[in-house]
Amino acid sequence: MRLHESGEMYLETILILSQKQNMVRSIDVAEDMGFSKPAVSRAMAKLKADKYILIDSEGYIALTESGRQIAEKIYERHTILTRFLIRLGVDEETAAADACKIEHDMSDKTFDAIKNHVREYNK
């Protein structure tokens, strides 16, 4: 099953927030993404039903193994694409915004080629 771009963004946000703070709740996700709490609650219910996240009785969110794999994949794409675009001369803010748009639609084959190019360029 292919997760939609919005689902990938939620998982990536949960991953990033969990690296900054011990516990993540829907309100943290809503504040970080600038979305309404009801919209985030609906998304969290869908991600939970699809087994990408777990939500405990206190409302704390944890990524499942499959959720973590997707989040890490998207986050890696975001960071590498941002660095790649900056090296091309794009300012940091624009590079990050464009990387966010590209990361969800790019094929694994194209991303791997860019990742390999970035590795070679760093040598």
Quick: pLDDT tens for 59-79: 999 999 999 999 999 999 999
- In this structure, are 62 and 78 located in the same domain? no
DSSP H helices, the chain, are: 5-20, 26-33, 37-49, 65-87, 92-102, 108-122
- In this structure, are 17 and 55 located in the same domain? yes
Task: State the pTM of this model.
Answer: 0.87
- In this structure, are 54 and 84 located in the same domain? no
Which domain, by its residues, includes 57? 5-69
Reading phi first (left if > 0) and then psi (alpha if -120 to 50, else beta), residue 24 is in: beta
Q: What is the mean pLDDT of residues 25-47?
A: 95
CATH number at residue 96: 1.10.60.10
Quick: pLDDT tens for 68-121: 999 999 999 999 999 999 989 999 999 999 999 999 889 999 999 999 988 887
CATH number at residue 14: 1.10.10.10
Q: What pLDDT score does 3 carry? A: 76
Q: What is the mean pLDDT of residues 19-28?
A: 94
- In this structure, are 13 and 50 located in the same domain? yes
- In this structure, are 55 and 107 located in the same domain? no
Stated as kind and residue range, the H or E segment containing 58 is none
List beta partners, residue 61. Answer: 24, 55
- In this structure, are 65 and 86 located in the same domain? no
Count of domains forming the chain: 2
- In this structure, are 22 and 51 located in the same domain? yes
- In this structure, are 103 and 86 located in the same domain? yes
